[in-house]
Amino acid sequence: MIAYVEIGATIFGLIQGLLVMLNKRSNWIAYIIQMLLMVVFSFSMNLYGDLINNVIYVVLGIVGFIIWNKKDERDIKACSIRERILYCAIMLLGTIIAFLILRKTDDPLPLLDAFTTVSSFIATYYMMTKKIDTWVIWFVNDIFYCIQYFILPRQAISLFVLNIIWAIMAVVSFINWKKIMKKGE
């Protein structure tokens, strides 16, 4: 059963990745479906940080769908230096706090789970607000997710491969969004 959930999440993740790379609002529908499947997967693997993350992502997917309806397709911007310092500081502090909580559970990888959880929230926020920095954060996040899914006691190979693909798509998305940004200037 869990293998089908993992495969379904992978398929919807690929669909969502392609749609967001192309700057399409419909990416949020695939995102919501994928996150619902990831709730089931995370619960079954005892990845509590990811579980909380994915439940919140369902809500963020709905918000993202609404926000993207109100935003112009070309309304992509870069973060300021101040914003970059702020999100790095939040990522570091959030990871430490989440790790301290998760290490008290049976989470098999509390530090990785903490980092991927916190960095995913930050990346999602910047994706919702159409900041190109989202793709740098997603790239780093996807690399760490690859590590997490590969070294889990019960490896999640489909999600490992998905995150390799997403890391590549993050680079392509950055390039595509940069082109869209330049057209809007």
- How many other C-beta atoms can be found within 10 angstroms of the C-beta atom of residue 23? 17
Tokens 């995150």 -> residue: 163
For residue 172, pLDDT beyond 80? yes
pLDDT above 70 covers a percentage of the chain that reads: 96
DSSP state of 77: B
pLDDT for 19: 92
Host domain of residue 159: 2-71+79-184
State the Cα–Cα distance between residues 138 and 163, nearest whole angstrom. Answer: 10
Q: pTM, whole model, 2 decimals?
A: 0.84
pLDDT for 61: 94
Instruction: State both tokens at 13.
Output: 């993740």
How many structural domains comprise the chain? 1
pLDDT digits (tens, 9 = 90+) for 60-88: 999 999 988 765 655 889 999 999 999 99
Amino acid at 25: R
Residues 112 and 148 sit within 8 Å (Cβ to Cβ): yes
